A and B are shown apart, each in its own frame.
Chain A
Amino acid sequence: MTYFADVGALARKDLLLELRARDTLPAMLLFVVSTLVVFHFVLPVGSSDLAATGLLWVALLFTALLGLSRSFAAEREQGVIDGLVLAPSDRSAIWLGKALSILAFLGLAEVIALPAYALFFKPVSAALVGGVVLADLGIAAVGTLLAAMATASRARELLLPLLFLPLAIPIVIGGVGASVSADPGRYLGLLGLYDALFAIICWASFEYVVTE
């Protein structure tokens, strides 16, 4: 049980920091709404709504990248990560706590993004919402680990999209498939499989990312 207490404390720390400093979330919200507005002008008259659905996924993915690239900023600048690694708890708790806080940010950003999309383009289906929820789990799990990796490198924020986008291709396929297909179950299954597989790998390997 102490494991979950640690995870909860770490996630709460991130949310509290965000509540006080308001660095990340407003940026994500503004970014996703302005991206949707840009997409309105990207689509020529007569483009189908399907194209708009695809672009929604692009907007969500890049918004997630924006949030992820800042996610370990505080840890790096203040040297918090060394303290966390030295703390007498399982290292994977750091990953889980951070992933939960990222998940909260993503969820909040999408609470704004999906209604905005419905307002600008077309109504949102239940399968789309299901796809977004499952995709968020995968993005938070994989993204957190890759953000920790990118933070350790010289290139930092530059590296994260390069590491993340090839891994996000199955998420995009599952998400877009779930939103446009008449039979979304298969795609939601793919997303669920992805989440489970990569969450286990991330959980097991995070220790090696922060220690030597």
Chain B
Amino acid sequence: MAAAIALIFFYAPLDEDGLNQKIFYFHVPIAFTAYACFGWGGWKALRHLWKRDEDADLESYVAIHLGVIFGLLTLVTGSIWARYRWGHWWVWSEDQLVLFLVLFLFYCAYFMLRFSLPPGPQRANLSAVYALFGVALIPVSILAIRLSQRFIHPIAFDKGGPNMAGSQFFTFCVAVLAMFAVAATLYHLELAGKRLDVRLRELREALQ
């Protein structure tokens, strides 16, 4: 991660946007990481339903939890970028931002669902089914949002910009890998913490 930051600030050449182009190396990797978290959460949900893997429920939940955090960061960095690039905090013509807003709402509903159910096999099942819906929603939403631009904005924004030079692309790849590493570390930390909680609760119950 430190290497990525160093590369972002000292190695990658500035393009016509100047300094604020640097946020590209944060925004896009964060977005990729959020997708990866949602995908991982969906995969674990499928494992739970299919193989009756008890641990998969918690793993799916932790992955989605991280996905929501990274999704929120994507929204924030994306709107900062939009502010500098186009002068508005929010641009409806930017497909990715709108998609993340939809996904963010969806996964917030996931938390609402999860917290309004008593812990147990039923909660695990319902959460897993809803997480699977999320994975199906991602491609459908991408398609739908693309299509919606036609009647909401007749003239599509030409994004222009990153025809990446070699050094930029290298920095970008390192940034993506670094963000994945951060996510993986957080995932294992969080998972260990949650498992400890569960274990502690079991021990307490055994003592009483």
Contacts and interface: CB of A to CB of B under 8 A. Distances in A.
Interface of A: 142, 145, 149, 152-155, 159, 162-163, 165-167, 169-170, 173-174, 176-177, 180-181, 186-187, 190, 193-194, 197-198, 201, 205, 208-209, 211-212
Interface secondary structure of B, over-half rule: helix
A176 B118 CA distance: 38
B106 A167 contact: yes
Contact of A212 (B108, B122, B129, B148): B122
Given A153-B113, A155-B116, A190-B144, A166 B128 contact: no
B147 interface: yes
Contacts of B102: 166, 169
Contact of B117 (A154, A176, A187, A190): A154
Interface of B: 49, 102-103, 105-106, 108-109, 112-113, 116-118, 120-122, 125-126, 128-130, 132-133, 136-137, 140-141, 143-145, 147-148, 150-151
Contacts of B144: 169-170, 173-174, 190, 194
Contacts of A152: 117, 122, 126
Interface secondary structure of A, over-half rule: helix
Given A152-B126, A153-B113, A167 B137 contact: yes
A163 B113 contact: yes
Contacts of B140: 170, 190, 193-194, 197
B141 A208 contact: no
B107 to A, nearest CB: 9
A159 B116 contact: yes
Contacts of A211: 125
Nearest to B46: A205
A165 B112 CA distance: 13
B136 A159 contact: no
A131 to B, nearest CB: 13
Nearest to A54: B151
Contacts of B151: 176-177, 180-181
